[in-house]
Amino acid sequence: MKNNRRTQAPRTQAQRSAATREALLAAARPLFAEHGFGKVSADAIASAAGVTRGAMYHQFDDKTDLFAAVFEQVEAEVVERVGAAVAGSGEADALTLMKRGAAAWLDACGEPAVHRIILVEAPSVLGWERWREVGMKYGLGLVQGMLEHAMDSGAVPKQPVTPLAHVLIGALDEAALYLARTDGSKRARREVDAVVDRLVDSLG
Amino acid sequence: MKNNRRTQAPRTQAQRSAATREALLAAARPLFAEHGFGKVSADAIASAAGVTRGAMYHQFDDKTDLFAAVFEQVEAEVVERVGAAVAGSGEADALTLMKRGAAAWLDACGEPAVHRIILVEAPSVLGWERWREVGMKYGLGLVQGMLEHAMDSGAVPKQPVTPLAHVLIGALDEAALYLARTDGSKRARREVDAVVDRLVDSLG
DNA sequence: TTGTTTTTCATACAGACTGTATGTATGTTG
DNA sequence: CAACATACATACAGTCTGTATGAAAAACAA
């Protein structure tokens, strides 16, 4: 037997890197979500991931860079979930699709990892500009796409999409935070759904 | 002459405290607005204010407490400005008043001190909960009041005010940040105004 | 294989920052 | 003026971030 000294199976560099990156992301995510960026030390993250700060600073430029990676991961997940909810909900007119998307977004934001990281921490840690830049690739892009589709199909009158998308996103973001605060109240959820549905309808 | 040794006129304790508090607030505000809470050291603030960290930690519990004071100051100023704009704009129906309030809010957010401190930093530094708690005393309270008035006067159908107020505030906040980014573009401002006006109209 | 280079990670360290403890000066009160 | 309270400055301890240096592991070459 050639490998009796090593209990660990040999791994490729890419596997090693991927493993520690994932461990760091997985460890950082709940910590950031619960305590916020400023109150989580690099050491706490590395420890939780079972590595040292050395490994972390090798994989990421700095703490902010690690946060950015977590942020993108969460964004990608959410847009995936929302996209799936919209796509898998059968045929419907543009406005109905938007309502379903909004509801899926509110669902996703139930998780603290989502609303705290995406909506509260990220703008301050990365700066609003970079925040929206990334958001454009994900959620904001999705909304803008649906709006354009709605305008093409005539469900919504033609108008500048970007400002409208921003205002809509803002409304949805705040709605999500409001719901996160009421912590699962059925009534609050119904009320918010009603407000959001009326808002979407008003676009037509 | 009894006071020839002292060039400084004697001041009461209250005056001394008030002076250093104001100096600290005035110094901290632009620093927070430009660099964000995390990147401004207590020493930088104290130096800019012409005092030492000792004085600062005597007047405020910690850096967060100082930020909270700045935040409240800015909030109070903004609500004052928006309130004045609405009150001093002559008689009008409820929806028109709301549109004027929204426009005044967008104006106020032109200043970085306003949008950066109130909209970007505060939620992360103070936590969303405390942020909204203070906001309720100021801007959010104003909106809620206007909504209630609009419902009483029949301009808006009766419905739960709190969630609606949150959604509206969210839309206005994001609109303000969007505008802050476009940095004074007349066209962007017109487009946002149009979106916001349509949004308010859709309430009726 | 063996030697060499590159990548991954750990440890040691320097600088910065926060909050506190302690001492001093300045008002306030009896 | 004596006794005290308040306002502030300085010194210090602990924590944190980011970097520099060295070791282990993998990739590569001969």
Could you tell me which residues come within 8 angstroms of residue A74 by beta carbon, excluding any fewer than 6 positions away? A29, A113, A114, A117, A118
Query: Which residue ranges does chain A devote to CATH 1.10.10.60?
Result: 11-60
The pLDDT-based confidence of B19 (bands split at 50, 70, 90) is very high
Chain A environment of B121 (Cβ under 8 Å)? 124
Note whether A189 and A179 are within 8 A (CB): yes
By Cβ distance, the residue of B132, B160, B174 closest to A173 is B174
Instruction: Mark A56-74 as b/e (b = at least 16 C-beta within 10 Å).
Output: beebbeebeebbbbbbebb
Separation of alpha carbons B132 and A2, rounded Å: 63
Q: What is the predicted pLDDT for the residue at B119?
A: 97
- The protein footprint on chain C, as nucleotides within 7 A of a CB, is 7-12, 16-21, 26-28
Q: For residue range B40-81, list pLDDT tens digits in order.
A: 999 999 999 999 999 999 999 999 999 999 999 999 999 999
Residue with tokens 């964000």: B36
Query: Which residue ranges does chain A devote to CATH 1.10.357.10?
Result: 64-201
Chain A environment of B135 (Cβ under 8 Å)? none
Burial of A89 (0-12, 13-18, 19+ CB in 10 A): middle
Output the CATH code of domain A11-60: 1.10.10.60
Token pair listed for A144: 């803008």
Chain-centre distance for alpha carbon A26: 14
Note whether A96 and A86 are within 8 A (CB): no
Best B32, B106, B115, B128 residue to mutate vs chain A (most A CBs within 10 Å): B128
Strand C close to B57 by CB, under 7 A: yes
Separation of alpha carbons B148 and A25, rounded Å: 45
Note whether B174 and A166 are within 8 A (CB): yes
Strand C close to B52 by CB, under 7 A: no
Q: What is the predicted pLDDT for the residue at A91?
A: 85
Q: What is the predicted pLDDT for the residue at A10?
A: 60
Q: What is the predicted pLDDT for the residue at B3?
A: 34
The pLDDT-based confidence of B1 (bands split at 50, 70, 90) is very low
Check residue B92 and report its DSSP letter.
-
pLDDT in tens, chain A (204 residues): 333 333 455 678 788 899 999 999 999 999 999 999 999 999 999 999 999 999 999 999 999 999 999 999 999 999 999 999 999 888 889 999 999 999 999 999 999 999 999 999 999 999 999 999 999 999 888 999 999 999 999 999 999 999 999 999 999 999 999 999 998 899 999 999 999 999 999 998
Best B125, B166, B181 residue to mutate vs chain A (most A CBs within 10 Å): B166
Q: What is the predicted pLDDT for the residue at A115?
A: 95
Domain B10-60 -> CATH class: mainly alpha
Note whether A171 and A196 are within 8 A (CB): yes
Q: For residue range B115-157, list pLDDT tens digits in order.
A: 999 999 999 999 999 999 999 999 888 999 999 999 999 999 9
Burial of A141 (0-12, 13-18, 19+ CB in 10 A): middle
Separation of alpha carbons A48 and A44, rounded Å: 6
Taking the CA of residue B10 and the C1' sugar atom of nucleotide D2, their distance in angstroms comes to 21
Q: What is the predicted pLDDT for the residue at A161?
A: 96
Phi (first) and psi of residue B46, to 5 degrees = -60, -45
Q: How many helices (H) and strands (E) does chain A have?
A: 11, 0
Pick the CATH number of A64-201 from 3.40.1180.10, 3.40.47.10, 1.10.357.10, 1.10.10.10: 1.10.357.10
Stretch B154-163: mean pLDDT: 95
**Cβ of B129 and A181 within 8 Å?**
yes
Stretch B108-114: mean pLDDT: 92
Distance from CA of A83 to the nearest CA of B (A): 22
**Alpha-carbon distances of A175 from A114, A157, A179, A194, rounded to whole Å:** 13, 25, 6, 11
Separation of alpha carbons A120 and A35, rounded Å: 11
Q: What is the predicted pLDDT for the residue at B90?
A: 83
Q: What is the predicted pLDDT for the residue at A146?
A: 93
Query: Which residue ranges does chain B devote to CATH 1.10.357.10?
Result: 66-201
Hey, what CATH topology would domain B66-201 get?
Tetracycline Repressor; domain 2 (1.10.357)
Chain B environment of A132 (Cβ under 8 Å)? 177, 181
Q: What is the predicted pLDDT for the residue at A2?
A: 34
Separation of alpha carbons B94 and B160, rounded Å: 17
The maximal CA–CA distance of chain B, rounded, in angstroms, is: 74
Chain-centre distance for alpha carbon A150: 24
**Cβ of B171 and A175 within 8 Å?**
no
